[in-house]
Structure 1
């Protein structure tokens, strides 16, 4: 039998040639997804496109549900739920894998444009936890939507295609940075300095901003007032790339948490319909606390489950809570792993290792487990058995030393409704940076783990 748990052998050392090829093939599909799904809107659209190709239909068009039916819920184009109806009634419980499709980025402010010394800038407000000093001097793409005064929706996607211009946040040259270099990393670049260069061209008596606004009007039909309606994001324009001569790693923007979201999508598309209903939850706003009507703190997941129940003849709030008490969930979010360049922040015996399989995290939170779900031993035993029997390589690890690290996921929200939940995702390096790093083997084992969970009883 394949060795599924090891602290001394990497996944690569436990694989045969056929498995190695499967890992590399999966990596190519995953990179293509990352380069397509640059924002939560684009991720949701790509997820729905792939799901519809596999026969998934909007749940709100269904009149009834039977085993094997494939349905989805589109929450305002930013969150998606996919479900395959099981042999048992939905009320008997759902197998849920919950991941998120938003990532740290720079959002344009409502009044973003200003001209200073002949340069037109976009003012930004960063989204999620970032190290601000990492964002200057990298190529940025502008992606999102904006509405004109007459209600026309304009989609913007500039910077990702070959030949597109990019956007750029400047930094102080080293020759003049004596005072800046004395500051802490947190203070070296301020939030208000994260302004992206958008235009510099001037002509005759016309100033750069005037020419830029004329160009926007001619090209997109956009006026300055329209930016008040916009959702425009600046994200790294760097494509996903293999790392190292062995090509065993992937560097890319947005792998937190699209590595788990892609595995979640592939798993539910590939899994055999089971006894229990299977649900892939791909949600928004996790990076800022899951607030808003597309985040997990809103009611859309409740409405989705209630819709499934009503299509099977049950529609009370008690039915919902009983369903959730019968349900099990993998909270599919990334975790840190031991970085050999920064070993002092991890406790090695309880850290995850890159390339050692999907990571189980019994508890998250910070310091004294504050904000943690803290999964029980019975559910951990069940998940371990599922992984071992399916030949999934797995490990268990915390997010840093007790008084050093910490972090949260959507696990506690689902546990509040009575479901059994454990955090279970890919370990990675440089999390929340513009260019995250992880192992192809871990990404593939994440997919295998979610598929095995969906197919389990």
Structure 2
């Protein structure tokens, strides 16, 4: 079965809406390169559309009713939006779930060092990366420094016009004969992903600072950090600073049909899920939920990952406030729910055709992708959606005129991957993976099609209204 290209069906109104959505998406992923930034931006957008903090309703004992909209935040890195529907929650929810973390380089807790007149920040990579892709690449630093008095200082340098950038150095080709003979996985080792941040020594006339004399470049970096962020070297211990590719996402291609940018896995699905949730003006038939979580790239662990109790606890609070409190009704609501695990899929790349099975691959420009199962080596670690649920999703997409396709993550035994889908499926709810096809997934710069972004938004909106 060959799915037609979505571009062929668009009229001028569609193209205008597509470009508007793409422009807003480019702004979102360019301005929010960390999970903290994404969460804060989502809360700001939600409040503009009438969402209110759930914790205030809980504190005040304020009941929730049909049409009410609330948001909840977990440690500043995961969040959930709920638009209360017309039916009792115990009859089920319609849920969109995506993740807002992306592969990157994290600064270690004791990162700053000087060697031979150069200052470096040591890193530990986060998520699945190819280390050689991160050398000789302009990097920005984003994150927070939390001081012992509780003060939170935001760090954001490398993306504003006029900012300096940083990089991991590479070995010149003239001396790289041994390196070039290594396997790609060994050419650049993770421990060597040190970020170059300075070369100028501190010159302090009459100073008796022995450390400054021994490591003057490091001392000058610390002086600059103290002036800009009022931080000391000790403050790195309680900092979360991420090194990410510097620069804005941009249109790609002569025809401007694609987007190239950092972090599209999975912020392309997070943003379209958010846009679909916020597009619901009237109370939906079933309560609509958008949950955006952290830590998917490292197993959905921790207090902000999907495997935490954040989602379940938040639902328990909401059900209490709508008058459906109690563990049994909560279990009934979760088991009766339907979910789209909104995560990206591997786009077919003709340059690497050997790892794909063509008739079960996702193609850029052919619309929203559904993966009945993911996993690897015999579907290991996968949620596998039922045929009945797939049929229902097909009907919803067809009725809404959404272009969609189905795919697997490459050839059998070629690899594979996973999403958050298997975690909410433990409640007994119907879950299927759906998202946008991506080229160069997990590379510093990833590629998506504007048509697929548009169809994802339309598909997610149709799901929230009709599932």
Range class of TM-score, shorter chain: over 0.9
The answer to whether the aligner puts 1:320 opposite 2:315 as a matched pair is no
The answer to whether the aligner puts 1:179 opposite 2:178 as a matched pair is yes
Q: Where in structure 1 do 4 or more consecutive aligned residues deviate above 6 Å?
A: none
Three-state SS of the structure 2 residue aligned to 1:375 is coil
The answer to whether the aligner puts 1:58 opposite 2:53 as a matched pair is yes
TM-score (normalizing by structure 2): 0.95
Choose the corresponding residue for 2:39, options 44, 64, 82.
44
Matches within 5 A, 1:105-144: 105-144=104-143
Is the 1:148–1:221 contact (alpha carbons within 8 Å) kept by the matching residues of 2? no
Is the 1:330–1:422 contact (alpha carbons within 8 Å) kept by the matching residues of 2? yes
The answer to whether the aligner puts 1:376 opposite 2:391 as a matched pair is no
The CA deviation at 1:199 is 1.4
Is the 1:90–1:308 contact (alpha carbons within 8 Å) kept by the matching residues of 2? no
The answer to whether the aligner puts 1:289 opposite 2:299 as a matched pair is yes
Is the 2:143–2:155 contact (alpha carbons within 8 Å) kept by the matching residues of 1? yes
Matches within 5 A, 1:216-295: 216-271=225-280, 272-295=282-305
The CA deviation at 1:8 is 5.0
Q: Which residue of the partner structure matches residue 402 of structure 1?
A: 412
Q: Which residue of the partner structure matches residue 25 of structure 2?
A: 30
Question: Separation in 2 of the partners of 1:44 and 1:203?
Answer: 38
Is the 2:202–2:219 contact (alpha carbons within 8 Å) kept by the matching residues of 1? no
Q: Which residue of the partner structure matches residue 446 of structure 1?
A: 456
Choose the corresponding residue for 2:445, options 405, 411, 435.
435
Is the 1:148–1:223 contact (alpha carbons within 8 Å) kept by the matching residues of 2? no
Question: Separation in 1 of the partners of 2:452 and 2:311?
Answer: 28
1:227-262 per-position Cα deviation (integer Å, ceiling 9, x unaligned): 000000001112111111100010000000000000
Q: Which residue of the partner structure matches residue 151 of structure 1?
A: 150
Question: Separation in 2 of the partners of 1:150 and 1:409?
Answer: 38
Question: Separation in 2 of the partners of 1:293 and 1:334?
Answer: 23
Is the 1:110–1:228 contact (alpha carbons within 8 Å) kept by the matching residues of 2? yes
The CA deviation at 1:14 is 2.3
The answer to whether the aligner puts 1:9 opposite 2:4 as a matched pair is yes
Q: Which residue of the partner structure matches residue 210 of structure 2?
A: none
Question: Separation in 2 of the partners of 1:26 and 1:41?
Answer: 22
The CA deviation at 1:318 is 2.0
Question: Separation in 2 of the partners of 1:219 and 1:162?
Answer: 17
Question: Separation in 2 of the partners of 1:45 and 1:331?
Answer: 22
Three-state SS of the structure 2 residue aligned to 1:342 is helix
Question: Separation in 1 of the partners of 2:407 and 2:185?
Answer: 28
Matches within 5 A, 1:383-394: 383-394=393-404
Count of aligned positions = 452
Unaligned regions of 5+ residues in structure 2, if any? Answer: 205-212
The CA deviation at 1:211 is 1.8
Question: Separation in 2 of the partners of 1:281 and 1:195?
Answer: 34
Three-state SS of the structure 1 residue aligned to 2:365 is coil
Question: Separation in 2 of the partners of 1:125 and 1:22?
Answer: 40
* RMSD (Å), alpha carbons: 1.1
Q: Which residue of the partner structure matches residue 366 of structure 1?
A: 376
Question: Separation in 2 of the partners of 1:442 and 1:409?
Answer: 19
Unaligned regions of 5+ residues in structure 1, if any? Answer: 1-5
Q: Which residue of the partner structure matches residue 208 of structure 2?
A: none
Report which stretch shifted further, 304-313 or 9-18: 9-18
Three-state SS of the structure 2 residue aligned to 1:292 is coil
Question: Separation in 1 of the partners of 2:328 and 2:127?
Answer: 35
